[in-house]
Each structure stands twice: as structure tokens, then as C-alpha cells.
Amino acid sequence: MYSEKVMDHFANPRNVGVIADADGVGEVGNPVCGDMMTFYIKVKDGRLADVKFQTFGCGAAIAVSSMVSEMAKGKTLDEGLAITNELVAEELGGLPKNKMHCSNLGADALHEAIKNYRDKQAGRAAQGAGAAELHEHEGCACPYCDTALEEGDKTVCRACRVEFEECPSCGGITKKGDAACLHCGKPLGGKN
């Protein structure tokens, strides 16, 4: 189910831990869909001198976090921001389609940490903007049956005929009529 590279990063994750005096911290995810990630960064001369993470989640989530930390270390902040979830998945030799949404959030967490650092530098209070804004939904798959959703029409899965809506809180694609968002757990107001 997972590539060799994913299994390697899962079994031997790089850069696990907490940086007590981190320059920036970024958190994404929630337990409803299973994965939570926290990234810590140290910045020196405009570069990511150290990157550490903690992850609660499945094998993919742990491998993704590990890969992001490896890709980011030593990079400039802008280079760090250029790391996308898609690039991370590519580096890992691919991820199962149904894991692309929930577990592939490592780059988002890193971006949050960089943003947190820049906000602090600029003397701004952390904005705490949700990862959702950074979260892209291009080329996503039905979370129920794994079939890729068609470009331009992400409101319905043609294979299993599930209708979706966008969660107003996190922007994630979730089943229409469900009581709570599949991704962030916020109530949707729909009945189930």
C-alpha cells in the first residue's frame, strides 16, 4: 500500500522532536481525519538552520512530516515556502490517493511555521490563519472510494455517486448532508 520510501521515512523518521526555543511554530490538522502535525523551525541568516516536527497520525502522515523536514533543512525561507504538498508526495514516490488530503499536510505545517517566524520578526502577533487557505484541492480524490474527482466538478464523485460540499470552515471537501466536516470536524448544519 505504501512505497518503499514512505515506509523508510515512517519507520525511521528524520528530525522528530521539539525545539524549545523555536523561532517559528506551525500547526495543522485535527484528530477528526486523523492527522495533526506541529513543525518547529530555527532560522539563521535567512535560512532554515533546524527543522523538527511532531506528528499524530498514520504512516503517511509521519513519512510526509519526515520528508518535509529533510527537504526544508538548510533552505532559505522562500525556498521553504516553495515546497508544496504535491512535491513532497512526489519525493516520497507517491501516496495512496485517499491519503493525499488528510495526511499530506506537512508542507502546510512548515509554511505556517515560516509565517509565524515572519510575523514575529515584523512584530505582528501570530495571525493564526488556518492551514485551509494554503491547502489546495487540485487533483483530489473522492475520500470514500479513491476515484479521482473530475476537474471542474468536485461536488460529486461519479464512481460512488457521493455528493460533496466545501466545508465553510476549512475549505475541505466533505460529504454533503454530513453532520460534521470530514477534515476539521466543525458542524456543517446539515443533517445526517
Partner 1 sequence: MKRTYLDHIAATPVRPEVFEAMRPFFTDVFGNPQSLHSAGQEALAAVDAARDEVAALVGASASEIHFTASGSEANNFAVKGMAVGQQARGRHIVVSAIEHTSVLNSVKALERSGFTSTLVPVDRTGRIDPAEVEKALTKETVLVSVMTANSEVGTVEPVAEIAAVCRSRGVLFHTDAVAAAGNIPVDVKASGVDALSLAGDQFYGPKGTAALYVRKGARILPLIDGGIQEGGRRGGTENVAGIVGLGRAAALARAEMASRTAALVPLRDRLLDELPRRVEHVLVTGSRTDRLPHHASFCIEFVEGEAMLLFLDMKGIAASSGSACTSKALKASHVLLAMGLDHATAQGSLVFSLIDGTTGGDIETLFEAFPPIVERLRGMSPLYTQYLKERGS
Near partner 1 in 75-114, by CB under 8 A: 98-99, 101-103
Asked if residue 159 binds partner 1 (CB under 8 A), the reply is no
Percent composition of the chain: helix, strand, coil (DSSP 3-state, to 5): 30, 20, 50
- 141 backbone dihedrals φ, ψ, rounded to 5°: -115, 155
For partner 1, which is the closer residue by CB, 7 or 47?
7
Give residues with Cβ within 8 angstroms of 11, minimum separation 6.
none
**Stretch in the footprint of partner 1 (CB under 8 A) among 67-75, 76-84, 119-127, 143-151:** 143-151
Asked if residue 61 binds partner 1 (CB under 8 A), the reply is yes
Helices 4-11 & 59-72, crossing angle to 10 degrees? Answer: 80
For partner 1, which is the closer residue by CB, 76 or 93?
93
For partner 1, which is the closer residue by CB, 13 or 80?
13
Beta strands across the sheet bearing 47-56: 24-30, 35-44, 47-56
Grid cell in block for residue 101: 488530503
Q: Which of 19, 43, 55, 89 contacts partner 1 by CB under 8 A?
A: 55
Residues that bind partner 1 in the complex, under the rule CB under 8 A: 7, 10-11, 13, 16-18, 27, 30-38, 53-62, 98-99, 101-103, 143-146, 182, 185
Where in the sequence numbering do the catalytic residues fall? 33, 102
